Amino acid sequence: MIVRSKAPLRISFAGGGTDVSPYVEERGGAVLSTTIDKYAYATLRLHAERNITIKSLDYDIVAKYGLDAPMRFDGQLDLVKAVIKRMNGDGNRQGLDFFLHSDAPPGSGLGSSSTMVVALIGAFMQLRRLPLTNYEIAELAYQIERHDMAIKGGMQDQYAAVFGGFNFIEFTKSAVIVNPLRVNRAILNELGYHLLLCYTGKTRLSANILTTQVDAYVRREEEVLEAMDQIKALAVEMKNALLRGHLSDFGHLLHEGWVSKKRLAQQITDPKIDELYQEARNNGALGGKILGAGGGGYMLLYCEFDKKHIIAEKLEKLGGQVVEFDFDYHGMQTWEVPAELPCG
């Protein structure tokens, strides 16, 4: 039996960082995001042999593990192993083959690691016929990453990947509430026409940046407290601007969010990122930001529509790589491979 799953990567417009503990428990967070047509994919094949094989295109790794020995966390595909441990535990240990790949590398700022966890859970759900709700899937992905593996990070990526589309997500000590936004399709088409996605040429380890941010918050550094509260408030303002179709305001608010985000930790930006951003602003970008925790990965820009091609050309001359994308409205999807189709 073969099943496949895919989950969409996400763009976070505002609120990133307010979904991280202990800010969530103490002050509550809010994020505005959308998913895009870049995905994490998982293929799962059930077999009778007493082993598990994992093939990762992203890491160029093929690893095999016996079912009769504990699967050790050794720095190689540990997050994948953590999902397998949760979903293929002692009660139903079966031989499995996995093939995994993602449209963006880990550390890109598009939530690729969390999205892969969601895709893996989706494949197991399809295989086991598990009746999990979207909230339960996202919470399970969060628990695997943040508690089982103790990887520092927030909550938004798991929920965005599961639910898909444009969402305003609220985080409190006791609950996560996903509010799907019913935005006029003409507004979304216009938004997409103005947005530009540029890969900066390097990835980064988000946990290191988040550690700096969290430590500063715990020390109650006034600048960080003010910046996080401002980022949360901007998420509400940007949601309202989007729903009303005030896209120029949306672009300017994106810039305000970037200014506030840079106050959270020194590693969020560097001279290369600043150069790319300033070049875009000089040539007609109203606003933008580094996606994810910062420090590298993808930069999102809101451009004047007749300047977008100029900005793209300028950024590529500086070493950036412009990436075409569209919005995704479906979230995680799973399916079985019909017997008459080649399985790969």
Residue 19 appears among annotated catalytic residues = no
SS3 content of the chain, % helix, strand, coil (to 5): 40, 25, 35
Backbone angles phi, psi at 102, to 5 degrees: -135, 150
Backbone region of residue 229 per phi and psi (left: phi > 0; alpha: psi in -120 to 50; beta: other values): alpha
Check if the beta carbon of residue 30 is closer than 8 Å to that of residue 177: no
Catalytic residue among 19, 58, 97, 157: 157
Classified as helix, coil or strand, 272 is helix
Cα 271 to chain centroid distance, Å, stands at 24
Helix (H) or strand (E) holding 303: strand 298-303
Rounded to an integer, what distance in angstroms lies between the CA atom of residue 272 and that of residue 283? 17
Rg over alpha carbons for the chain, rounded to the nearest Å, is 20
- Catalytically annotated residues: 157
